[in-house]
Structure 1
């Protein structure tokens, strides 16, 4: 992992429980956090590619798949995130993340034992319980390991776990399904996450809370009422949060439903289009699921990595002199997604589909570095994990909980008219959420300078 060298000379930084940290150790911090976030998204998104065999094996409708992949996960993930984050603002964030990683990995493995819809639904609830403690504490840790002028890039590097984990979840899920079945796929990735937990705990130290903030910044634990009272006075927080949530409705919806869309609408074309793959990367008797896994996994990886890095680099470059840039950069990126969205969903040429979705994926994830950085600067160091959890509550309850479900419901409603192509038109109906996200972020931009802390 490439480290980020600071511009000014930094003071020695001691952890609360360990020795002075170095640039090399901070590089390790980012690396291990990315690894954990990668497993977070493998376990979260693997259901996208496994939805095809699960639907056939358990005889489920699209609305049931959407509940299993969306609301079942989002229910406890969103509601438990705030109390866990409040605890993280008061105690060891590294211990909280270790326990969270262990719980969500174990429950992912349990998904492989499900015998019906309700077994799977409650197992995904368990995954959500674990992942509720995985992200907000990490945002807070990064803010205490990296100074303000590096945070957008550091948070962008951390966010690489999204495309890496999503791509690996799709690819591993597809290949393992064709080789040993969807149940074993859940079990294997869950056990792999459990193996990472002790490594994370033994090597991740708790940094000094608020060490890069001003000396007069309040570091005493804040009550939830105090956090809400502060956020109520900051309109930029709410327009940022609902703008991100609008984009996440399509982001999570696409990650869950596009593998099924590619199999249903391009199943016969995929083997020829992906014919360049060497034989050792494929099962002995590959199905369209394996080809769709590589096709979409490649889109997620390259598009996501490009977009996330670009957003963080642009925010660090222009945000120092113009705080509004943290909202304007992703706003213009969302506007730019529209033509690529329309082409990717409507055309039948896989080359154009691939190029369009790579561009769409990149542009739709530009927001992560700038927006996450802005959230860290809207409150003091004693509130960061809690404020991040409130943002995640809004973003994920709307994004994960509603995005998957709405697309699945529309697809079922259009099935009598369009058959397997119903999913294409269900996905198409949602592009307006990117437009709404752009509008909300344009509204946010002039408010950020007034609301900025530090």
Structure 2
């Protein structure tokens, strides 16, 4: 890799981490923010936990599509820089004391959500021109780790600084280095040559480019959702987003306020959950590959079992009493670490299976659809949890939210009945759809 490409890789990963550090800046200090903005406990959960998360991810979903499409035509390093600035400038404004109402904070967070939504497709487009196909799995792992580390660092900054220096300071701590990285991307990082790592296009590929975009996109969507394994994976995300929304949006503040741990101790426990998740991802990817090489259907059973088993430790953390003794905190912290490891077993394997049951013509569109549904789930999930809180109170609502992993696990396990056939027919579907597209082009 050339020096300019290395520079692009390093600063893109750094920028991606800083963008995703924005995601959980509110979570550790929901109560402090509610007090500052004169919100009641119910308004804290519904407005700060539900409505802001809804705006954050609902605007991020179309941003992913729009900015991802622009990445095909405009310099991506410049687009990424502007995207980072779009997310960082609202954070600088949130740091200032002039933000005194919920409405002001709502729109500032919505703008940041656009940046988070647009960052991922830009990054993957850029990285595909830095690495050949034989190294893109490693590239994907590094970029995924950048996102996770960004979220963890953002939550840690908010938790440890927010209690001592106020909830506003973490926004500036994240925004200022992000603006600096954006300036480097804008003026000092060269745009890699588009398509430099790809094989020269053949005649059929040229014919495909002449087909109308609408017809091609509609055909791809039909081809994707008609694969039963993909349909099951998309469906499981509907229920799977609810417990994750509870953990990412509400759980830190719940442990700090309702269970009496304090912001710093509860943040430490959530960091252990995330560290367990990172290590669990590495182990689950290794073990899932062994299962896949031996009998692919076992991966489906492994994912489904992991989702259902993950209910028990997280439900215990929700319902347990906390006495703040050293031994009690140690036990709960270990359980939080284990919970994160179990909960992470699904994500790394579901993406690998998606790659395997879809042919090359549909993989990019499929992952865009997967990211779109993921963003929508992250937007609606907190609203669902906030509705449960209004109806049942925090503890019961969070327990009910965790139970949504059970139907998620059942759908994942059910894919063991469809996976083998979909793997066997992937090549045949590829040939059929290429022939249909080329025939359609000639008729047009």
Q: 1:180: how far off?
A: 2.5
Q: 1:305: how far off?
A: 1.5
SS at match of 2:310: helix
Structure with greater helix percent: 2
Alpha-carbon separation, structure 2, partners of 1:159 and 1:310: 15
1:450 is matched with which residue: 425, 428, 436?
Answer: 425
- The reply to whether residue 102 of structure 1 matches residue 92 of structure 2 is no
Partners of 1:26 and 1:145 within 8 A in 2: yes
How many residues were matched structurally? 404
Query: In structure 2, what is the equivalent of residue 76 of structure 1?
Result: 59
- The reply to whether residue 227 of structure 1 matches residue 217 of structure 2 is yes
1:289 is matched with which residue: 263, 279, 286?
Answer: 263
Q: 1:320: how far off?
A: 6.1
Alpha-carbon separation, structure 1, partners of 2:244 and 2:190: 31
Partners of 1:344 and 1:352 within 8 A in 2: no
Q: 1:52: how far off?
A: 2.1
TM-score, normalised on structure 2? 0.79
- CA RMSD for the aligned pairs? 3.2
- The 3 A distance-change label for structure 1 pair 225 and 173 is farther
Pairwise mapping of residues 73-152 of structure 1 onto structure 2 (< 5 A)?
Answer: 73-113=56-96, 114-146=99-131, 150-152=135-137
Partners of 2:232 and 2:411 within 8 A in 1: yes
Alpha-carbon separation, structure 2, partners of 1:367 and 1:232: 25
Query: In structure 2, what is the equivalent of residue 247 of structure 1?
Result: 240
2:318 is matched with which residue: 342, 345, 355?
Answer: 345
- The 3 A distance-change label for structure 1 pair 26 and 434 is farther
Q: 1:298: how far off?
A: 3.1
Q: 1:156: how far off?
A: 2.7
Q: 1:439: how far off?
A: 2.7
- Farther-moved stretch of structure 1 (116-125 vs 77-86): 77-86
Alpha-carbon separation, structure 1, partners of 2:77 and 2:37: 38
Structure with bigger gyration radius: 2
Can you give the 5+ residue segments of structure 1 that lack an aligned partner in the other structure?
1-20, 271-287, 415-421
Can you give the 5+ residue segments of structure 2 that lack an aligned partner in the other structure?
322-327, 432-444
- The 3 A distance-change label for structure 1 pair 315 and 131 is same
Q: 1:203: how far off?
A: 3.7
Alpha-carbon separation, structure 2, partners of 1:161 and 1:324: 30
TM-score, normalised on structure 1? 0.77
Pairwise mapping of residues 423-438 of structure 1 onto structure 2 (< 5 A)?
Answer: 423-438=394-409
2:279 is matched with which residue: 300, 306, 311?
Answer: 306
Alpha-carbon separation, structure 1, partners of 2:369 and 2:137: 20
Alpha-carbon separation, structure 2, partners of 1:409 and 1:432: 15
Q: 1:365: how far off?
A: 2.2
Q: 1:324: how far off?
A: 5.7
